[in-house]
Structure 1
């Protein structure tokens, strides 16, 4: 279940890494393959991810387990 504070929140790489133990390169590969939420460009040298999309992605993985 998503936290109400997640709605609309954009997180950076450090917080994404705390949620998911994947390398930046692995996340990039998943994004390119369409298997992970796409990053959002928030500045010239800064990207982020929609927290609610990442939480949905995690929940979908949890529901796939046996």
Structure 2
């Protein structure tokens, strides 16, 4: 396990600056195992490991998968 002192945690505000998705979308992705899990710090504070979020972004970029656009007729 990686040493705790080398982790950078980010809060929801910082996450939303990096990942422009709604709170609900992030939660749904987490529940499906498609996004890094949040870390519960206190009953009112959550955070994400910045390195895991960056890895998620890079994996999305590398996959080449593009979201379907409304009206797109892809098979």
Query: Quick check: which one's helix share is greater?
Result: 1
Q: Give 5+ residue unaligned stretches, structure 2.
A: 1-5, 66-75
After the TM superposition, list the runs of 4 or more consecutive aligned residues in structure 1 that deviate by more than 3 angstroms. Answer: none
Instruction: Specify the alignment match of 1:22 in structure 2.
Output: 21
Instruction: Specify the alignment match of 1:32 in structure 2.
Output: 31
Instruction: Specify the alignment match of 1:54 in structure 2.
Output: 53
Aligned length: 60
Larger relative CO (CA 8 A, sep 6+): 1 or 2? 1
TM-score, normalising length: structure 2: 0.76
Q: Give 5+ residue unaligned stretches, structure 1.
A: 1-6
TM-score, normalising length: structure 1: 0.86
Report which of the two structures shows the higher radius of gyration computed on alpha carbons: 2
